[in-house]
Amino acid sequence: METSVSRVERSKEDARSSYNRLSRWYDALSGSSEKKYRDQGLEKLSAHSGERILEIGFGTGHCLVTLARTVGLAGRVIGLDISDGMLAVSTKRLEDEGLKDNVDLHIGDAADLSFLTSQSVDGVFMSFTLELFDTPEIPLVLAECKRVLKPGGRIVVVAMAKQSPPGVAVRIYEWFHAHFEAYADCRPILPRMMLEQAGFNVRDVSESVMWGLPVEIVLAGK
């Protein structure tokens, strides 16, 4: 069974610069195609009024809006992204929706969530984000997620998934990732297995396809 995952070679600064450039156009390029899977992930997370929810890789802020409305004034949404450009777009979206005071946005790296205390959030949400981290970093990111989750808290990861054996679409995509990483920066990973290895209890997995690439939506608990 082939379970190897490609590496991410580009630097964090290169990633930040790339998403800063893309921030104004991201919705037009890929936002609509990802929406279906983001929405399924949010449904699986099932946030409630009064909860504290962390979104890692908030991008242009669509999920922040949904989460802020769901948790209400009694709750809180915390967002983390590497890109200043994405933060600017998300801030404007939240202002337009009258939700800016409901959300705390941060710029940073999810491998270090030191701005959050341990056991301080009820849920963590990541949509097409975990596959942007280099393979050795993914356990660090998930360990930080586990640290900040309250006992019984849950995490949802929406990610391109590598099946065994990988299909033609995955092999082609991985070739582009290896040769043109600036344009194909993420790559298929093993979200369910990675969550299990990080000590999470996987509760539910949905499988789908986007552009011929497998997608997994995984709900796991602490």
With tokens 């497998």, the residue in question is 214
200-to-123, 181, 192 alpha-carbon distances in Å: 13, 30, 9
With tokens 């009024």, the residue in question is 49
More confident residue, 210 or 172: 210
Q: Does residue 5 form part of some domain?
A: no
- Whole-model pTM: value is 0.91
Q: Coil, strand or helix: which one is 1?
A: coil
Q: Please give the pLDDT value at position 11.
A: 86
pLDDT of residue 29 exceeding 70, the answer is: no
Q: Does residue 6 form part of some domain?
A: no
- Closest by CA to 104, choosing from 55, 47, 155, 48, is 55
Helices 12-22, 84-96: crossing angle, 10 deg rounding: 40
Q: Does residue 3 form part of some domain?
A: no
Q: Please give the pLDDT value at position 169.
A: 66
Domain count, the chain: 1
With residue 139 as reference, give the H or E element that holds it.
helix 138-148
Q: Rounded mean pLDDT of 19-28?
A: 80
Q: Does residue 40 form part of some domain?
A: yes
Q: Does residue 185 form part of some domain?
A: yes
HSE-CB of 17 using CA atoms within 13 angstroms: 7
Q: Does residue 1 form part of some domain?
A: no
Q: Does residue 157 form part of some domain?
A: yes
Computed over every residue of the chain, the mean pLDDT equals: 90
Residue 22 token pair? 């893309």
* CATH code, domain carrying 204: 3.40.50.150
Residue range(s) defining the domain that contains residue 201: 12-221
Give CA–CA dist 18/52, Å, rounded. 30
- What is the percentage of the chain residues whose pLDDT exceeds 90? 70
Cα dihedral 64/94/81/202 (nearest 10): 0
Give CA–CA dist 42/66, Å, rounded. 8
Residues 110-123: tens digit of each pLDDT: 999 999 999 999 99
CB atoms within 10 A of CB 193: 16
Q: Does residue 2 form part of some domain?
A: no
Q: Please give the pLDDT value at position 8.
A: 86
HSE-CB of 138 using CA atoms within 13 angstroms: 28
